[in-house]
Structures are given as C-alpha cells and as structure tokens.
Amino acid sequence: MASAHNTVLNSECAFTFHNPYTTPAGIVVNLSTFIGTIDALAIGNKDSDRGLFVRIVKKRVPKEDVEEKNVTKLGVGVEGGFQDEKFDVESKYSVVLLEQKEGVVTIVEEYPFEDGTKNDFPMNVTSSVESVINHAGVAVQQDLKAFELDEEKVVSKYAADLEVVDNGVTISPNPADWKCEKSGDTENIWLNLSTGIIGGGRKNWDGSGGSGGALEYFMETGEKYPLVVKLGTITNDTDTADCYSYAKDEDGPVKIPNLAELLKKRGINVAGM
C-alpha cells in the first residue's frame, strides 16, 4: 500500500506523455512499484511476468448553462479572471491483471473498481488501489518540495569568487546535444559552472531521478567546483534557474546572482533565451 512517503506516478506514464485523459485506456499503475504507464509499457513485478495494476481513466465533461464572464484580470479562479468551472471530471477505475510475454503485454483479467464492487476484492487489494488513487502523486510532491526549497534559497557564498577553469569548453546551443558525460543521460542534467562539464542529477532514495554524475564529478575533482545549474531551466530571467551547491556547508538549492556572467563564459547568452 502506498504511503505518503512513497513516490507514486498516478498522473502520467513514466515513459510517454500519456495521462489519464489522453485515451480511453488511460494509464495503469503497478500496485507493487506504484509506477504508472500505458498498457504496452507496463512493468511486471520482480521475478514474475504478471503484475496487478489499477487503471485510471479520466474525462472532462462540459457543464451545461455555464455563464460566460468577461476576463479582466490575468489569473485563474480569481474574481475577474479565468474561471475553472466549465468542466466536470469523470473518473473510472478498474483492477487489471497484466501479463508480459516476449515483449507483448496482454490483459489477463480486468474488473471495475467502484463503490458497488470494491468490497468484492481482497482487503489488501482494495486498500492498495485506494492508496494509489488518493495519493497526491509525484507531480504534486515535487511542486510542494520545490516551493519549500525556494523559500529556503540563499545566495551561495561561492558565487562571487567562483573559480572558472579556462579549458575552452563551451556548451552547444542545441539541447539535443546536452548529455551527462558519464552516463549519457539527456534528462535531469546539470552544468558545472567552473568547468563546463555536464553531469546527471542526484539519485532519489529509490534509485530514480538521475545518474548522479554531477555529484560524482564534484567529488572526483576534490570538491573544488561546487556550483551547478540545471540545463533546461535557464531563461533570460536567471533568478528562475535551478542552481545547486554541492559544498558541504551549503549542500542545497542556492541563488547565483552572477549566473548570466558565468554562463557567458561557457558560450551561453541568456539574453537570447
């Protein structure tokens, strides 16, 4: 059963952009690993070709006789702003036994999970399904964590006098060329502001999240170059970029007031981003 501390992917497929609204099949979430996918990419349980899943399907249904209001303010759900009240959301759930053979996933059994049927399942299955359905999900958890961390950000003490190695390394303007130099990862990658080396982000407690290449590089170079910025978060407003300090006396998200200047030394002109 998923607890508040578990990472639960119940709002989108872990490998594609599909979500419960995308198709009539929605997504399926593994009741053991809590990983959400589409059927074709469903991951079975360890040492087994079969897995028990909950299918989540959602549909937006327009409300009738919704009064149109003039928008006078840029905002959602505020007086004079855009109102989020034109649709109702219909949700359907089912418990699915999926089997994978030779790379092909098939449905072995599927039963609706609703008020009239949930008591037909074993208690542990019902509890697990409800824990996944009602879980805040990883997207909400990340948003909350980002909010908490943003409140605690301080200006890094290493930013003003950061050592920048004159090694001729520049960063390609094409994001398709960005990858961790250790693992080859192309997502969750961080640029070391001293050397221009790109490394993967930290691993989460469950092994997900990144290759850890950026932190490994910091350790391997004698902890000399602590400041990194996440590629893909840099805009002309550098205050919004995700910056991190690996230094032991900071070890957390930081603000880097001279970020634009440091990036320019690696060929990144934030004015054009």
Residue 153 has, within 13 A of its CA and on its CB side, a CA count of 18
User: What pLDDT does 145 receive?
Assistant: 54
Superfamily of domain 152-272: Zinc/RING finger domain, C3HC4 (zinc finger) (3.30.40.10)
Among candidate residues 108, 110, 126, the one with its CA nearest the CA of residue 118: 126
Q: What is the DSSP letter of 67?
A: P
68 burial (CB, 10 Å; 0-12 / 13-18 / 19+) is exposed
Structure tokens at 177: 């060329």
pTM over 0.75: no
Distance CA 195, CA 167 (A): 7
> Please, what sign has the CA dihedral across residues 105, 111, 114, 119?
negative
Largest Cα–Cα separation, the chain? 69
Domain extents in the chain: 27-60+88-139, 152-272
Fold agreement (27-60+88-139, 152-272): no
Domain spanning 27-60+88-139 has what CATH number? 3.10.450
User: What pLDDT does 144 receive?
Assistant: 52
User: What pLDDT does 3 receive?
Assistant: 73
User: Which residue's entry shows tokens 């908490």?
Assistant: 148
User: What pLDDT does 208 receive?
Assistant: 58
Among candidate residues 41, 59, 60, 61, the one with its CA nearest the CA of residue 51: 41
User: What pLDDT does 199 receive?
Assistant: 93
Q: pLDDT means per 10 residues in the chain (273 residues)?
A: 77 88 93 91 74 93 66 47 65 94 90 92 91 73 52 85 93 86 87 95 65 92 94 84 92 92 90 66
Structure tokens at 144: 């909350």
